[in-house]
Amino acid sequence: MTELQTGLIGLGAAAVIGVAAYNKWQEYRHRKLAEQVLQSHHADVLLDAPQAGGAGDLSSGVEEDRFEADEETTIHAASTTVNSPAIDESRGGHALRGERIEPVMHPDPEPQEEEASPIRHEPTVAPGEGMATQRAEPGTLPVPARRPDEPKEARNDAEPVDLLSPLIDYLASFETVEPAAASQILEAQRDALARIRKPVHWVGYNELSREWEPIVEDNEGEYRRFRVGLQLVDRQGPLDESDLSVFHIAMQDLATDLMAIVELPTRQPALDTAAKLDEFCVSVDIQIGINVISQERPFPGTKLRALAEAAGMVIDGDGCFVRRDDEGNVLFTLHNQEAQGFSAELMKSMSTHGITFLLDVPRVSHGERVFNQMVDLARRFSDVLRGSLVDDNRQPLSEGGLEPIRRQVGQYQSVMAGQGLPAGGPLTRRLFS
């Protein structure tokens, strides 16, 4: 046997031994991760003993399980609270507790000290004479702090703060050993999450583009790192404990299904944040309406449609005309004051005695500029249709009545920007949906 043959045999034996050792190491790593995931204990919200508390408080105890991986992860068991709807006497008995009430604007440049009675819940906050305002003095929103045990890869500039944010979402952070398909991630706990009344958002880290992206139904990607966010607040009110409990258990089960490590924040601070965030949103949630009413004859639908389309407005599925910006975001809308909504089929034969232009202040960037555009368009409609610009009391609306409203739009949006939720931003639009 030559020296060459001996050397080749030795190299082959070394390669075989190396491959076998690598396979053994991979097998050990996967087995340790599987043991950590399968050791988790899920609390039963039906069997857990209720905590001691006031009468009528139905909540289960909190249990803690720990995954010991690269860092310690604390998972709290679920609890359930039953909330009964009740009339809020402080709002004149007109609204259920948790229902959002928009304030009415006031012509004075400074907000009034006393809170006025709310107007109807429909979006018809009209400026002008005889209007009141709800004083907006929102407190400082809590800014979620980074935990010292947060994964190193999560503490970088690539976090999807424009898609999900701990400021408005309860975030579950996942990491799997092997990449999981988007369809597998979305389907695993679909039935459980369907019971939740707040929006749930999914984003994953694309390792090819090195960017975070939404995980959607037709997505064919695979993700090793992804986030699931339960929205803390919308216009129906704050997140409650029962929905958070369902989400919490669903995320634990999802981690088990995908053989993943999940990091879940503690629940009570999230509920406290939701309550405080909802108070802030209520204080700045205003909509401004400008009315145009007929003087003698009603406005014909054909002329209304021609004016609206000439101004770049289109009819949406809710029966109103919508003006959007270049990115597709709604700037303001045009509504029929009568019960019948606008539709392409009915515009040829319908008529109306009044229309309302509506600006949703929290959902629009550069509110003062958009307000001016809406006022100018309302005046054009009034001139062409020979109508009158009036407030909700059908009193003529002059420039003197519009100027303080214009200033207050800027004041409200400045407050929002100061709290890290600029009006018209993607997170803010989610909050006020």
| Tens-place pLDDT, residues 139-167 | 445 544 444 444 444 444 457 888 999 99
Gap between the terminal Cα atoms of the chain? 81
Q: Which residues share a beta bridge with 299?
A: 352
Q: Which residues, other chains included, contact 160 with Cβ-Cβ below 8 Å and sequence gap of 6+?
A: 203, 212, 227
Closest by CA position to 266, among listed 74, 79, 70 = 74
Beta bridge partners of 169: 231
Residue with tokens 């030795």: 10
pLDDT of residue 363: 97
pLDDT of residue 392: 81
- The runs of H, that is alpha helices, within 331-431 are 367-385, 399-418, 426-431
6, two tokens: 């001996």
Does the pTM exceed 0.75? no
The C-alpha atoms of residue 223 and residue 294 are separated, in whole angstroms, by: 58
Compute the C-alpha angle 195/200/206, nearest 5°. 140
Q: Which helix (H) or strand (E) covers residue 221, if one does?
A: none
CB 238 within 8 A of CB 277: yes
- 13 class by beta-carbon count within 10 Å (0-12 exposed, 13-18 middle, 19+ buried): exposed
Give tens-digit pLDDT for 185-236: 999 999 999 999 999 999 999 999 999 999 998 888 999 999 999 999 999 9
Beta bridge partner(s), residue 254: none
Tens digits of residue pLDDT in 13-70: 888 887 787 777 767 776 766 666 556 555 554 445 444 444 444 344 434 443 333 4
Over residues 276-292, mean pLDDT: 96
Neighbour-count burial of 255, counting CB atoms closer than 10 A to its CB (0-12 exposed, 13-18 middle, 19+ buried) = buried
Q: What domains are there in the chain, each with its CATH number?
A: 33-51+66-80+160-271 (3.30.70), 283-431 (3.30.1400.10)
What size, in residues, is the chain?
433
Distance CA 132, CA 115 (A): 8
Separation CA 266–CA 74 (nearest Å)? 8
Query: What average pLDDT is seen over the chain?
Result: 78
Interval 303-330: pLDDT, tens: 999 999 999 999 998 999 999 999 999 9
- With CA atoms as reference, report the closest residue to 281 among 103, 14, 63, 37: 103
CB proximity list for 23: less than 8 A, separation 6 or greater:
none
List the one residue out of 354, 380, 371 whose CA is nearest residue 424. Answer: 371
Q: How many whole angstroms from its chain centre is CA 172?
A: 16
Q: What is the mean pLDDT of residues 230-244?
A: 97
Residue bearing the bigger pLDDT, 361 or 85:
361
Give CA–CA dist 320/318, Å, rounded. Answer: 6
Q: What percent of the chain has pLDDT over 70?
A: 70
State yes or no: pLDDT of 85 exceeds 60.
no
Closest CA to 105 of 140, 130, 76: 130
C-alpha to C-alpha distances, 32 to 2, 38, 72, 254, 277, nearest whole angstrom: 46, 10, 15, 19, 41
